Amino acid sequence: MGNEQVRESAGARVTIAAERQARSLSQEEYKKTFCDIHPALDSKLAAVESSRCYFCYDAPCMEACPTTINIPEFIRRISTGNRKGAGIEILEANILGGTCARVCPVEVLCEQACVRNKAEDSPVKIGLLQRYATDYIFENKIQPFTRAAASGKTVAIVGAGPAGLSCAHQLSKLGHDVEIFEAKPKAGGLNEYGIAAYKMLENFAQREVDFLLGIGGIKIHNGKGLGTGVTLPELRKSYDAVFLATGLAGVNALQLVGEQLPGVINAVDYISTLRQTKNYSDLKIGKKVVVIGGGNTAIDIAIQSKSLGAEDVTLVYRRSASDMSATSYEQELAQTHGVTLRYWSKPVAINGDEKGVQSVVFEKTLKNVKGELEGTGEKFTLYADMVFKAVGQVLVPALLGEGAELLKISKGKIEVNAQKETSVAGVYAGGDCIAHKEDLTVVAVQDGKLAALAIHEKLTGRKLGLTGGKING
């Protein structure tokens, strides 16, 4: 698949004939369809849930958390009424613990590892407890962090998403000044522009950014970035180190005839617009929606299409349910929201006219003896007023501007060593723009933290280890 050179959206341009649009819902209805997917625990529920934790030794949940939050410890703190201490314990290992509590696929991370699964198939609700603890810090405007003595060093960070923000906070804590260059008008990265709306209510992404910046020493230049105002060589010259956390600005294309038809939209662009919309009735959504893809983004756009009022939403994936990068929990979530899931089918043509897309033709697939995906020749057509493409985001090195060609790219991602340093000395990278098994917020946060550790060592010659998820010293 080739890359469509799409810059991060300035908003999805949606043209769709009025008669093919689903009717707008009332504000009351939107409130319901976009309500919190996992409502917060109140103190009673938190007490009950925290008492279920066994306080395991060498706890498997902790190991399953990419940021190694000391989960038994923070849960014990909740159970003893030390909610503040619980929140701080989390944020020390994961400064975006608030977002992670809302968006982590806990069913494949911490909660999957809970020993309670073995006896009763019902893990401690770690994600919700994490939210309960961190909310206390935000609600009470507690600033638990202070900065070490000024080092006199300044680090440039490109991208204010989870990776960039995490790195910035750690560096600031360690006494370095940070300047972030962020192409978009707001900080937060996909927390602000990508994650499903029903996971991040009440402007949480910005509240969290405000909390994070509360430590001081971090300056964000919005609307400025690599390729838009600054270049990598300039940053290298003017700063003591550079951390690249640009995420993935490009999207894969299907490379099908009809892909350019009105109504065929990149899911991430649409979601980005959706996340910034004050009034959901301003958004156009088709009556019949077809989503192509098998990841988080596909699930999110399918559910949110339903939430906006689409009548029929079908998500089509070319392989099996278990091959999908969206977890089985997420697939079920889509189904309970009324999304039809179809597997083993790939799109072969998109039909329509100048007024817009009308249908998508799919061919059934199977895995041949060599394990490769193969079309069976059998076809079917799905009528569609709107088609969302959610077949993966990609790094587009060319978008990183002049001088970025020095960066070694392998398998489409920026190559880094164990210290998160790129092929260019003094330039580090983390988050979605480097290779992982799976791109997740929590993984990006960990990258930022590790990069900060490495940068600190490079700038000061002092090596700081980690105890669990926390940086020593």
Partner 1 sequence: MADLRCNVAGIKSPNPFWLASAPPTDKKYNVVRAFQAGWGGVVWKTLGEDPPVVNVSSRYGALEYNGQKMMGFNNIELISDRPLEVNLREIKETKREWPDRAVIVSLMVPCEEDAWKNILKRVEDTGADGIELNFGCPHGMSERGMGAAVGQVPEYVEMVTKWCKTYSRMPVIVKLTPNISDVRKPARAAHGGGADAVSLINTINSITRVDLDLMAPEPVVDGKGTHGGYCGPAVKPIALNMVAEIARDPITRGLPISGIGGISNWRDAAEFIALGSHSVQVCTAAMHYGFKIVSDMVDGLNHFMDEKGYAKLSDFIGKAVPNVTDWQQLNLNFKTIAHINQDHCIQCGLCYIACEDTSHQSITASRVNGQRKYEIIDQECVGCNLCYHVCPAPGAITMMNQKATLPYLNWTKHPHNPMRVK
Ligand X SMILES: Cc1cc2nc3c(=O)[nH]c(=O)nc-3n(C[C@H](O)[C@H](O)[C@H](O)COP(=O)(O)OP(=O)(O)OC[C@H]3O[C@@H](n4cnc5c(N)ncnc54)[C@H](O)[C@@H]3O)c2cc1C
Catalog residues that contact partner 1 under the rule CB under 8 A. Answer: 43-44, 47, 55, 57, 73, 76-77, 79-82, 84-85, 88-89
CA atoms within 13 A on the CB side of 411: 7
Nearer to ligand X, 83 or 184 (CB): 184
- Sheet of 218-222: strand order equals 218-222, 177-182, 154-158, 241-244, 427-429
- Asked if 352 is part of the footprint of ligand X (rule: CB under 6 A), the reply reads no
Cα gap 196→209, rounded to integer Å: 18
Closest CA to 313 of 380, 383, 252, 264: 383
Nearer to partner 1, 62 or 407 (CB): 62
Residue 101 Cβ vs ligand X, minimum distance, rounded to whole Å: 11
Query: How many positions of this chain bind ligand X (CB under 6 A)?
Result: 40
Do 443 and 96 contact (CB within 8 A), yes or no? no
Binder of ligand X out of 227, 250, 263, 392 (CB under 6 A): 227
Nearer to ligand X, 194 or 258 (CB): 194
23 binds, among partner 1, ligand X, none (CB under 5 to 8 A by kind): none
Cα gap 287→29, rounded to integer Å: 17
Binder of ligand X out of 90, 124, 156, 183 (CB under 6 A): 183
**Interacting residues with ligand X between 100 and 119 (CB under 6 A):** 103-104
247 binds, among partner 1, ligand X, none (CB under 5 to 8 A by kind): ligand X
- Asked if 274 is part of the footprint of ligand X (rule: CB under 6 A), the reply reads no
Binder of ligand X out of 194, 263, 309, 469 (CB under 6 A): 194
Which residues 6+ apart lie within 8 Å of 228 measured at CB? 183, 401
Nearer to ligand X, 16 or 396 (CB): 396
Residue 333 Cβ vs ligand X, minimum distance, rounded to whole Å: 11
162 binds, among partner 1, ligand X, none (CB under 5 to 8 A by kind): ligand X
Cα gap 327→163, rounded to integer Å: 23
Binder of ligand X out of 134, 252, 441, 446 (CB under 6 A): 441
Residue 156 Cβ vs ligand X, minimum distance, rounded to whole Å: 11
- Asked if 300 is part of the footprint of ligand X (rule: CB under 6 A), the reply reads yes
- Asked if 246 is part of the footprint of ligand X (rule: CB under 6 A), the reply reads yes
**Interacting residues with ligand X between 159 and 178 (CB under 6 A):** 159-164
Q: How far is CA 296 from CA 300, 302, 392, in A?
A: 6, 10, 10
Beta pairing, strands 386-390 & 288-293: parallel
The dihedral through the CA atoms of 325, 329, 332, 334 has a sign that is: negative
Cα gap 357→36, rounded to integer Å: 32
Quote the tokens at residue 171.
């560096």
- Asked if 249 is part of the footprint of ligand X (rule: CB under 6 A), the reply reads yes
Nearer to ligand X, 85 or 285 (CB): 285
Tell me which H or E stretch contains 413. strand 413-414
Do 352 and 358 contact (CB within 8 A), yes or no? yes
CB atoms within 10 A of CB 408: 11
- Asked if 268 is part of the footprint of ligand X (rule: CB under 6 A), the reply reads yes
- Asked if 293 is part of the footprint of ligand X (rule: CB under 6 A), the reply reads no
CB atoms within 10 A of CB 458: 16
Region of 161 (left: φ > 0; alpha: ψ -120 to 50; beta: rest) is: beta
Nearer to ligand X, 181 or 239 (CB): 181
Binding residues vs ligand X (CB under 6 A): 8, 103-104, 158-164, 181-184, 189-190, 194-195, 199, 225-227, 245-247, 249, 268, 271, 296-297, 300, 399-400, 431-432, 439-442, 444
